[in-house]
Amino acid sequence: MSTPGGVWTEVVGQPAVVAELRAAVADPAAMTHAWLFTGPPGSGRSVAARAFAAALQCPDGGDGTCHECRTVLSGTHADLNLIVPEGLSIGVTEARELVRIAGRAPSQGRWQMIIVEDADRMSEAAANAVLKMIEEPPPRTVVMLCAPSLHPDDVPVTIRSRCRVVGLRTPPADAVADVLVRRDGVDPALAAWAATAAGGHVGRARHLARDEDARLLRRAVLDIPLSLVSLAACLTAADDLVGAAREESDRTSAALDAPETEAVKTSLGVGARGPGVAASRGGAGQLKDLEKRQKSRATRIGRDSLDRALVDLAGLYRDALVLHAAPGEALPLDHPDRRADAEDLARRIGAEGALRRIDAVLACRTALEQNVKPQIAVEALTVALRLPA
């Protein structure tokens, strides 16, 4: 599915959204100061917000080639402020800094732009600070919030009611495959498989297409349901799931933490000799704050990795439910490459068993969100997923 050119080429499979945003850029009467981009994971909420920001700053409405477009899309424009939470939440301190920045007049562009990715991670105090900013907006500031849904758990009704809502959908697989081929140079057959396996999630499709380890991990996760024939197998599967998430967290954190810590130490003069040493001792609090943020980020990375595995498991049980209900129908499956496994599951657990296991996966996701220890939550899940004798 093609999209208009310029900054909009990155907004995959969202023609109605692109048309709405282009109209707002072209017509000042259609413009407003607060926007809320919603849609399922991988639909491109923050991509659409950033493309919109570029088009608003661009003299030509988003040609994609000028300085304004290129700097906004890369995140380096002087009047663009991106809040991308790496940890578990967005705190009130970050939100107050956001409010302070929002009060500035734009220094280079036409607007002061603020984009908050994963706005559903705002704490209650942070949401209240952002609400006040939206209620009393500075004249040349545009705020864009990105969240999964309009549910009150994701976005407070008080904020939602003051924003113009832009709803994105899961992109069709052919649109995702097209962008993988066109932009990333992926082989068409691999791109088509990755787009389908990722369920329309653009970022994950790219990850599956370009990373053999990601493909192997997905295969290992989808092998689990038919392996759960004993209590020992259930506990082994839980260990594997939690261990894989921990390995991903450790690997990613190791790549991120060391350069960050070194940069802070350098800025504080840690290890230097002379008068600066006294000043560096006062930076212990900064290093402690950094360590706290890094631990929070590592926890989030591990949770996200586990959550991807749980979504894949739920998808396979959903496929089993579909095939049990309509065995002869050519209905779309979440994992069409694992159709034989889904048919086997359908025979062994039936519709009721599939539904019960989907509920168990959802309960595990909720438990993890409520800070239940991953090992305990996942062991309870795999035991609940055990195949009947």
What's the whole-number mean pLDDT along residues 40-53?
92
Per cent of the chain over pLDDT 70 is: 94
Q: Is the pLDDT at 331 greater than 80, yes or no?
A: yes
Q: Which residue has the tokens 């599915």?
A: 1
Per-residue pLDDT at 357:
97
Q: Is the pLDDT at 111 greater than 70, yes or no?
A: yes
pLDDT, mean over the chain: 88
Per cent of the chain over pLDDT 90 is: 51
pTM of the model: 0.78
pLDDT tens-digit map of 164-198: 999 999 999 999 999 899 888 999 999 999 999 98
Q: Is the pLDDT at 277 greater than 80, yes or no?
A: no
Per-residue pLDDT at 368:
92
* Contact residues for 292 (Cβ-Cβ < 8 A; gap 6+): none
Angle (deg, nearest 10), helices 231-268 and 212-223: 150
Q: Is the pLDDT at 281 greater than 60, yes or no?
A: no
Residue-wise DSSP of 268-337: HTTT--STHHHHHHTTHHHHHHHHHHHHHHHHHHHHHHHHHHHHHHHHHHHHHHHHHH-TTS----S-GG
Per-residue pLDDT at 3:
41
pLDDT tens-digit map of 297-330: 788 788 888 999 999 999 999 999 999 998 878 7
Contact indicator for 315, 196 with CB cutoff of 8 Å = no
Per-residue pLDDT at 4:
57
